[in-house]
Amino acid sequence: MGRLYSVGYRHLLARTDAENAHRAAFAGLRATYAATGRVPGVPAPDPILAGELFGRPLRSPLGLAAGFDKNAEGIDALAALGFGAIEIGTVTGQAQPGNERPRLFRLPQDNAIINRMGFNNDGSQAVEQRLRARAEGKHNDALLGVNIGKTKAVAVPDATQDYVLSASRLAAYADYLVVNVSSPNTPGLRDLQAVESLRPLLAAVKEAADRAASRDLPLLVKIAPDLADDDIAAIAALVPELGLAGVVATNTTISREGLRTPAEVVSRIGAGGLSGPILRARSMEVLALLRQLLPRESAVISVGGVSGAADVLARLEAGAQLVQAYTGLIHGGPLWVAAVNRQLAAHRRRSS
């Protein structure tokens, strides 16, 4: 059954518009989980993978990056695939449709994706209602991250208020909160990575999140791989200064260097953030740099170019506390997570 499920998923992915394929596959996963409380062919992560992050249990060091479940519609179904953590979002203060379609493109030759979704989501008020309903009902214990961003219609000078609105609504349901200032698909957003803009924004969000959660809620900032090392160092310095929990590194890239996909195909696709194995080298560089710069107790969640267990192991060994995937799941199918977990568990047993 699991093999048929995977083959069907790959067939759907290959022959359907990328965004339609995502919606259909996600809807199918949610329906399967709602009917059975599980995903066929997927066991729970091996207990040898269990750990802890932010004082909460972590079933596996492999998590799902933001972007897959923007609206908190399938947290438990996604966790049933074997992820130890699910990061929902990016959620904005106001609901918005995102950019015009088509806006999601597969690059099969590179196992990569280009997206210019533009933070399409139902808005923080609707997501708050879903998270409240989940919290009040039966749900799993996967670590839950909430990723928040700027509403496109909100001017950059008013961005802090918009982030604070989302934090105030969502923080009570999160195990950790992520401020996304690194997507290339919202005009002016990446300008917020400049320290003079980022410092007051993060301080205000931290205050609002702690108040809403009635505790010291772990807050992280998600950065772009395209930042210069000096800019990364400046952001890293804010972590101890503002009492942040750490950094999520990295988002998608605007670079197109090193792709095997023909240049004319890439050019026709146009703007957007690129994800996939092409990001592996830079993501590892940023992880190594952050581990040099950050205090030992600060977390680095590593994402970008994670294609299999070897990538997860390399990042854990380099000092990441959690490793996230997105494009690896898209190209690997729903049974990919369980396969990675099995390989991670086998490695731990050999090493113990």
Cα–Cα distances in angstroms (integers) from residue 222 to residues 21, 108, 181, in the given order: 27, 27, 6
Three-state SS at 179: strand
Contact indicator for 185, 115 with CB cutoff of 8 Å: yes
Angle at CA of residue 280, ends 275 and 283, nearest 5°: 90
What is the CB-side half-sphere exposure of residue 85 using CA atoms within 13 A? 32
Residue 117 to residue 283: CA distance in whole angstroms: 22
Both tokens assigned to 83: 């992820």
Three-state SS at 244: coil
What is the CB-side half-sphere exposure of residue 33 using CA atoms within 13 A? 20
Contact indicator for 309, 344 with CB cutoff of 8 Å: yes
Residue 251 to residue 288: CA distance in whole angstroms: 16
Q: Is the preceding omega at residue 97 within 30 degrees of 0, hence cis? A: no
> What residue has token string 């772990």?
218
The residues annotated as belonging to the active site are 183
DSSP string, 15-69: HS-HHHHHHHHHHHHHHHHHHHSS-TT-PPPPGGG-EEETTEEES-SEEEPTTSS
Give the Cβ contact number of residue 7 at 10 Å.
11
Residue 145 to residue 70: CA distance in whole angstroms: 11
